[in-house]
Structure 1
């Protein structure tokens, strides 16, 4: 065999042998999604709150547990508590027809570091509980005391 034919045959054999083995690309490492920020408010209508000018408002009757610093709990779709926060001082919305009468007490909350990845999350403060799809948590959520 001439040297050029031998080189061509060896090259072909080498390429065939190398080409028969699959080339594997390492899979990217799984990344953990960044934690969520869940923020929102709880609306408490009359007669379920009390208020004092300059002192904010607080829950009454069946909502007496709604007050400044009351615990807000976040659970995931498995029912596991994943984060906790607290309510801010309640603010009063006055009755537009009578500026001396309140009509609504609003408590706000902001909870950082909620683990992402759940399908939905449940927000609970006192006996007010509402569930939200994870996709809706990019915007502030609103809970209603009834």
Structure 2
């Protein structure tokens, strides 16, 4: 009987190590915290064009600014941590209501890893702009 006990213990250990027969961890690992990057990019005259009912889009030096243009978020090491798209541009009229004043594009990039302190926002064809983690959810860029 003494020989059977070590064999039983060895079999139980082997089962636990190789196949996970022991107690299971029922809680999955917590997902790392994420934040959302969101904001607007505003383009002033004469760097945009528009048609009533069709929205607006960039022109001249900013012709890449249009609905669907890629917005990329980079962390403080330059690694891409999220991507999104510009929404359709909306026109703000001058106070007289006759002429357009500027064109604004909204964007959102979800599931950006939190805790990097600083990030940079890049819209295709434009320079990266650095923002703090605290400002990442309320970015306001203006191009003249």
TM-score category by the smaller chain? 0.7 to 0.9
Instruction: State yes or no: 1:118 paired with 2:98.
Output: no
Higher Cα radius of gyration: 1
Deviations 1:112-131 (A, max 9, x none): 11111212010111314311
- Runs ≥4 residues deviating over 4 A: 30-33
Deviations 1:36-69 (A, max 9, x none): 1111000100000000000000000010000000
Matched with 1:144 is 142
TM-score, normalised by the number of residues in structure 1: 0.74
Determine the C-alpha separation between the residues in 2 that align with 1:143 and 1:83. 18
CA RMSD of aligned residues (A): 1.6
TM-score, normalised by the number of residues in structure 2: 0.75
Structure 1's unaligned 5+ residue stretches are 1-29
Matched with 2:77 is 78
Which SS does the other structure have where 2:134 is aligned?
helix
Structure 2's unaligned 5+ residue stretches are 1-28
C-alpha displacement of 1:135: 1.9
